[in-house]
Amino acid sequence: MKIIVTGSSGFIGYHLVKELLKLNHKVFGVDNMNSYYDVNLKKIRLKNLNDTNFEFNNIDISSNEQISNLICNVKPDLIINLAAQAGVRYSLENPKSYIDSNISGFSNILEAAKKNNVNKVIYASSSSVYGNSKQIPFSEEASKLEPISLYAASKLSNELIAGTYSYNFNMSLIGLRFFTVYGPFGRPDMAYYGFTDKISNNQEITIYNQGKMSRDMTYIDDIVNGILQSIEYIQNQHQPCNTILNLGNNNPVSVWDLVNYIGTQTNKDVNYIYQDLNTEVDITYANIDKAKKLLNWQPQISFEEGMNNFLDWYKFYKEI
């Protein structure tokens, strides 16, 4: 298949493209290589994707002309949209980037797909759409979603926009609500990475909201497998579909368990200060029954195994 993957130099995009290339798909990567976090890490990922079946396009999806031209020229069998302005806290500082990339950019992709008869799109949503919902574990059938950040609101907007395209233009769309994805080549702005960085360097970490939080940490390989199984599912649909699926580990890890595990594995003391932040939800916890049923998917990697893999990579990457 010919597949466009936006966000191909990002954490999830990089790992996904690697697997798609192993399966002999022709992949057209899209990324604007922005500086939200270390561009060198993105460049290393991109360099590792050196393959005759991979074509990289330095494009910002918020540029309607650029992304439309690519989709028109490629005429892909499938588009996987992983490009987005990431991060919950950063949305307090630069809200426009979330509107431009996450909402306008996604709309540009769907409109270009429609015009070029590309009727299958898989896109990244987020567990953040649940916000502080009291219906735990979080189910796709939840009656009330309570996003508390602009990032979360932008992801929920994606789901609503996707629904209208599916309904009006007979397109098949799958939105994947990712739950705290972690692993090698991960994003430095994520808590597990930041904690590892500071603890390893004997620096003080900041614990938000007294550490009374838990995250359903999901290993990158499990997420990639979920996307691959979503591809198989969408290819087998003979009628237009509009499906939302949780991809999570179904096993929340507390902030203190995460911090203590990193401290133990790195043989370092943990020094911390407290700070309150109202954009942080108390818990993320995925009900994955729907993904099990539709995709025959469930996570395979335990928190301990996944963190050990990440820490091994981190030591190699940082030359510790």
Give the catalytic positions in this structure. 151
Q: What separation in angstroms does the CA of 295 have from each of 41, 49, 309?
A: 32, 27, 26
Q: What is the DSSP string of 58-113?
A: E--TT-HHHHHHHHHHH--SEEEE------SGGGGT-HHHHIIIIIIIHHHHHHHH
Residue 181 · residue 124 · CB < 8 Å: no
Separation of CA 28 from chain center: 18
Residue of 79, 167, 185, 189 lying closest to 123 (CA atoms):
79
CA distance 82 to 3: 13
Residue of 175, 135, 182, 173 lying closest to 286 (CA atoms):
135
Residue 106 · residue 61 · CB < 8 Å: yes
CA distance 318 to 187: 14
**Strand 214-215, strand 54-58: pairing:** unpaired
Which class for 28: exposed (0-12), middle (13-18), buried (19 or more C-beta within 10 A)?
A: buried
Name the phi and psi angles at 139, rounded to 5.
-115, 145
**282 residue type, one letter:** D
Give the HSE-up count for residue 42: Cα atoms under 13 Å, Cβ half-sphere: 19
